[in-house]
């Protein structure tokens, strides 16, 4: 184990997989010479050269389409979209091509590709650069979606994503890049896609979270513990496939659930998860499931009101207390 | 002055071009019939009139070269070697179809033939063609990628993004624009500021030329030259083949936006009878030989229809298969 931040853990995952497999290539806007807007691709051009680490034009839809074609042609490409917000320009290639090629061609091809996208709010970047669009990708069959919370998971999940033979949307939270944690040094350390992780065991209420929401949920659980409330924090890690068995097992044990989502509340992943809990473990519930969500507004710039739009430790604490009191 | 056919290709290959064009036409016309009978449903975009482009171009490419296309691609798949019966079964939605009945008319695909798909979002195939070409170059394969599209696709963002990118990354892509002058019902002059499509590549420093897409030999020669250019230089090249579809955009389009006079003019340039005439005039085939070819094509397509009719539907469980590996 060694301590490193989320950014360096991702960087190490890319380096290890590129060393391991010459069919792994990577590209995106400012990925090579500039070494990435968030420096996740630092050192790659120097180590792997211009044919494997490539800068692209600002053409997001084509970035994804080229990645689809390269995967179809036998490579294992990893593309970076500078932020998830720009993925909206590439939704044609993501939804109409990347997610469907295998199915509509009768299983005669597969796309071992990853599209990395930093995202999330909280940096006062305004309405167009602060979005949490994870639900958009979860909604579409044919995609895998990963969104790690810790440096170790970042490394292990990205390595699994690169080795996976399905197209993976790999989300990275911009506010987690500098967060630190212990990361296994073993180059074969992998975190499986589709498996949630109990980041903190507890007895009375399950907090289902992912990415930065997991970090906040752990802080909330710590505070609640001081008040005698025992929370289990379940970090989804992958949003598609959703680890429904892990969710149901935890809620079946605690009898209460709070789902924390950074995305907009309406049709958000919290609605999906709450529904699955209601459908499958209604009898073991001691209180209605509660959601803590991003507000249904375009993100404002001013930090005073931006804060209102994103779940905070305090709002999670309040939601857990409400669930414990059976309020709804 | 037309080139003498025998200067271009040996007799057997000249006859093969005719056979492929006739097979494609026969296939499409039987598709229309099967659509009106309700055996083929959904969208059906037929290629009748444009055969010289697919046949001439495919003959000029290597078997290892990738072909990628849009949604009017039955002929391209068949000319590349897809069995008509498996294509017809696909259109019938049967389990024996080339994509197990999951793709349909617009999504034919066969990696064994290096036929990398029909795509139904206009311009969606451009970026994918670049990725295929990059993969070929990266893997050291002697392979170029031929990307077919219509005149309607040239105003999509992906067209411009991909032309720029192909030149920038120096990718071996041959762009083949099948300009049939109409994007559904909108004539090219009403959608493109510069309707002379091949001239649009100058902004991306990609050489281009225009060819008569009703003349299979002209297409063959142009693509042969272009493909060798791409192969030697590793750089993209662009061909605009002017052509005409004799039917509407799809089976649901009666094509009322085109005048009878225009239609007649293009009908007089039908690539099949004109090429047949040249074959007989130059003594490469007499009517008897052509009759035999035509009978053979008709039998193959009849067999395809029978096969499709008799094939089983997909099992219900198959709806969940092939989403993930």
**If you average pLDDT over every residue of chain B, what do you get?**
97
CA atoms A95, A96, A97, A102: torsion sign: positive
N-terminal to C-terminal alpha carbon distance within chain A: 44
Query: Would you call A110 an interface residue with chain B, using a CB distance cutoff of 8 Å?
Result: yes
How many CB pairs (< 8 A) connect A and B?
135
Query: Residue A290 above 80 pLDDT?
Result: yes
**If you average pLDDT over every residue of chain A, what do you get?**
97
Q: What's the CA gap between A211 and A216, in Å, rounded? A: 9
Angle (CA) B53-A68-B106 rounded to 5° is 45
Instruction: Check residue A33 and give its pLDDT.
Output: 97
pLDDT confidence tier of residue B255, bands split at 50, 70 and 90: confident
Question: What does each C-alpha distance from B80 to B73, B83, B97 come to in angstroms?
Answer: 11, 9, 16
Q: Which of B86, B110, B127, B321 best tests the A interface by mutation, with the highest count of A CBs <10 A?
A: B127
* pLDDT-above-90 percentage for chain B: 97
Instruction: Check residue B1 and give its pLDDT.
Output: 54
- The secondary structure of residue B284, as a DSSP letter, is S
H, E, C per residue of chain A: CEEEEHHHHHHHHHHHHHHHCCCEEEEECCCCCCCCCCCCCCCHHHHHCCCCEEECCCCHHHHHHHHHHHHHCCCEEEEECCCHHHHHHHHHHHHHHHCCHHHHCCCCCCCCCEEEEEECCCCCCCCCCCCCCHHHHHCCCCCEEECCCCHHHHHHHHHHHHHCCCCEEEEEEHHHCCCEEEECCCCCCCCCCCCCEEEECCCCEEEEECHHHHHHHHHHHHHHHHCCCCEEEEECCEEECCCHHHHHHHHHHHCCEEEEEEEECCCCHHHHHHHHHHHHHCCCCCCCCEEEEECCCCCCCCHHHHHHHCCCHHHHHHHHHHHHCCCC
Domains contained in chain A, CATH given:
2-183 (3.40.50.970), 197-324 (3.40.50.920)
Q: What's the CA gap between A161 and A169, in Å, rounded? A: 9
Chain A residues touching residue B136 (CB < 8 angstroms): 73
Q: What is the CA radius of gyration of chain A?
A: 19
Query: Would you call A301 an interface residue with chain B, using a CB distance cutoff of 8 Å?
Result: no
Q: Which residues pair with A53 in a beta bridge?
A: A26
Using left for φ > 0, alpha for ψ between -120 and 50, and beta otherwise, residue B244 falls in beta
Instruction: Check residue B161 and give its pLDDT.
Output: 98
Instruction: Check residue A326 and give its pLDDT.
Output: 83
Q: What's the CA gap between B167 and B175, in Å, rounded? A: 12
Query: Residue B3 above 80 pLDDT?
Result: no
Query: Would you call B257 an interface residue with chain A, using a CB distance cutoff of 8 Å?
Result: no
Chain A residues touching residue B158 (CB < 8 angstroms): 61-62, 65, 92
Question: In what helix (H) or strand (E) does residue B241 lie, and over which residues does it extend?
Answer: strand B237-242
pLDDT in tens, B268-319: 999 999 999 999 999 999 999 999 999 999 999 999 999 999 999 999 999 9
Query: Residue B180 above 90 pLDDT?
Result: yes
pLDDT in tens, B197-226: 999 999 999 999 999 999 999 999 999 999
Mean pLDDT of B235-247: 97
Q: Which residues pair with B321 in a beta bridge?
A: none
Contact present, A117 and A87 (Cβ < 8 Å): yes
Query: Would you call A77 an interface residue with chain B, using a CB distance cutoff of 8 Å?
Result: yes
Query: Residue B122 above 60 pLDDT?
Result: yes
Tokens encoding A75: 């490579």
pLDDT in tens, A139-179: 999 999 999 999 999 999 999 999 999 999 999 999 999 99
* pLDDT-above-70 percentage for chain A: 99
Q: Which of A32, A58, A65 best tests the B interface by mutation, with the highest count of B CBs <10 A?
A: A65
Mean pLDDT of A46-51: 98
Chain A residues touching residue B129 (CB < 8 angstroms): 69
pLDDT confidence tier of residue A328, bands split at 50, 70 and 90: low
Are A51 and B138 in contact (CB < 8 Å)?
yes
Chain A residues touching residue B102 (CB < 8 angstroms): 103-106
| DSSP characters over B168-232 | HTT--EEEEEEE-SEETTEEHHHH-SS-SGGGGGGGGT--EEEEETT-HHHHHHHHHHHHHHHHH
Q: What's the CA gap between B282 and B268, in Å, rounded? A: 20
Query: Residue B325 above 60 pLDDT?
Result: yes
Question: What does each C-alpha distance from B110 to A38, B68, B72, B100, B319 come to in angstroms?
Answer: 40, 10, 16, 11, 20
Query: Would you call A160 an interface residue with chain B, using a CB distance cutoff of 8 Å?
Result: no
- The secondary structure of residue B110, as a DSSP letter, is B
Query: Residue B32 above 70 pLDDT?
Result: yes
Chain A residues touching residue B110 (CB < 8 angstroms): 108
pLDDT in tens, B68-108: 999 999 999 999 999 999 999 999 999 999 999 999 999 99
CATH topology of domain B7-308: Rossmann fold (3.40.50)
Query: Residue A84 above 70 pLDDT?
Result: yes
Query: Residue A43 above 90 pLDDT?
Result: yes
Instruction: Check residue B324 and give its pLDDT.
Output: 97
Are A142 and B109 in contact (CB < 8 Å)?
no
pLDDT in tens, A172-213: 999 999 999 999 999 999 999 999 999 999 999 999 999 999
Q: What's the CA gap between B145 and A69, in Å, rounded? A: 11
Domain ranges for chain B, please list them. 7-308
Residue of B nearest to A107 (CA): B322
pLDDT in tens, A86-136: 999 999 999 999 999 999 999 999 999 999 999 999 999 999 999 999 999
On the CB side of A69, CA atoms within 13 Å amount to 37
Q: At what angle do helices A151-163 and A6-20 cross, to 10 degrees?
A: 30
Comparing CA positions, the residue from B63, B206, B133 lying closest to residue A62 is: B133
């Amino acid at each position: 184990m060694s301590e490193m931040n989320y950014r360096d853990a991702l960087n190490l995952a890319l380096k290890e997989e590129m060393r391991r497999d010459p069919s792994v290539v990577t590209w995106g806007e400012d990925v090579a010479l500039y070494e990435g807007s968030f420096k996740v691709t630092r050192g790659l051009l120097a180590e792997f050269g211009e044919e494997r680490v490539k800068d692209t034009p600002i053409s997001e839809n084509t970035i994804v389409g080229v990645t689809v074609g390269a995967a179809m042609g036998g490579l294992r490409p990893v593309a970076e979209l500078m932020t998830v917000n720009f993925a909206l320009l590439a939704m044609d290639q993501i939804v109409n091509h990347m997610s469907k090629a295998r199915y509509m061609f009768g299983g005669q091809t597969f796309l071992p590709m990853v599209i990395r996208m930093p995202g999330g709010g909280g940096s006062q970047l305004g309405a167009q650069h602060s979005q949490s669009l994870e639900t958009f990708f979860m909604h579409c069959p044919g995609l895998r979606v990963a969104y790690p919370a810790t440096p170790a998971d970042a490394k292990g999940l990205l390595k699994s994503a690169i080795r996976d033979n399905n197209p993976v949307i790999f989300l990275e939270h911009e506010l987690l890049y500098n967060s630190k944690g212990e990361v296994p040094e073993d180059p074969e350390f992998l975190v499986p896609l589709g498996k949630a992780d109990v980041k903190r065991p507890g007895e009375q209420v399950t907090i289902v979270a992912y990415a930065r929401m997991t970090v906040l949920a752990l802080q909330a659980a710590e505070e609640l513990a001081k008040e005698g409330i025992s929370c289990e924090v379940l970090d989804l890690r992958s949003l598609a496939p959703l680890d429904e068995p892990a969710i149901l097992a935890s809620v079946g044990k605690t009898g209460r659930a709070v789902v924390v989502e950074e995305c907009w509340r309406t049709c958000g992943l919290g609605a999906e998860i709450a529904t699955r809990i209601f459908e499958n473990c209604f009898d073991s519930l001691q209180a209605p499931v509660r959601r803590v969500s991003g507000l249904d507004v375009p993100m404002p710039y001013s930090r005073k009101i931006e804060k209102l739009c994103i779940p905070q430790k305090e709002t999670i604490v309040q939601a857990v207390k409400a669930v414990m009191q059976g309020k709804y | 002055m037309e080139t003498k056919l025998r200067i271009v290709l040996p007799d057997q290959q000249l006859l093969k071009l005719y056979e492929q064009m006739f097979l494609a036409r026969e296939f499409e016309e039987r598709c229309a019939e099967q659509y009106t009978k309700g055996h083929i449903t959904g969208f059906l975009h037929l290629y009748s009139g444009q055969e010289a482009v697919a046949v001439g171009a495919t003959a000029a490419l290597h078997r290892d070269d990738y072909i990628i296309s849009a949604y009017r691609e039955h002929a391209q798949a068949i000319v590349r070697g897809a069995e008509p019966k498996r294509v017809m079964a696909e259109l019938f939605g049967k389990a024996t179809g080339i994509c197990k009945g999951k793709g349909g008319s617009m999504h034919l695909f066969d990696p064994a033939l290096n036929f990398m798909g029909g795509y139904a979002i206009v311009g969606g195939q451009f970026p994918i063609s670049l990725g295929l070409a990059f993969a070929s170059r990266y893997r050291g394969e002697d392979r170029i990628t031929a990307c077919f599209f219509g005149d309607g696709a040239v105003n999509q963002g992906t067209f411009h993004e991909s032309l720029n990118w192909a030149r920038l990354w120096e990718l071996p892509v041959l762009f083949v624009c099948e300009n049939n002058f109409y994007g559904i019902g909108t004539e090219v002059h009403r959608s493109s500021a510069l309707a002379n499509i091949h001239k649009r590549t100058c902004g991306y420093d990609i050489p281009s030329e225009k060819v008569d897409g009703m003349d299979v030999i002209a297409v063959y020669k142009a693509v042969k030259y272009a493909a060798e250019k791409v192969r030697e230089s590793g750089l993209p090249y662009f061909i605009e083949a002017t052509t005409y579809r004799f039917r509407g955009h799809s089976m649901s389009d009666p094509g009322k936006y085109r005048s009878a006079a225009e239609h007649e003019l293009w009908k007089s340039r039908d690539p099949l009878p004109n090429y047949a005439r040249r074959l007989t005039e130059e003594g490469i085939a007499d009517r008897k030989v052509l009759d035999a070819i035509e009978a053979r094509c008709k039998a193959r397509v009849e067999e395809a229809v029978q096969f499709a009719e008799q094939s089983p539907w997909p099992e219900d469980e198959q709806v969940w298969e092939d989403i993930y590996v």
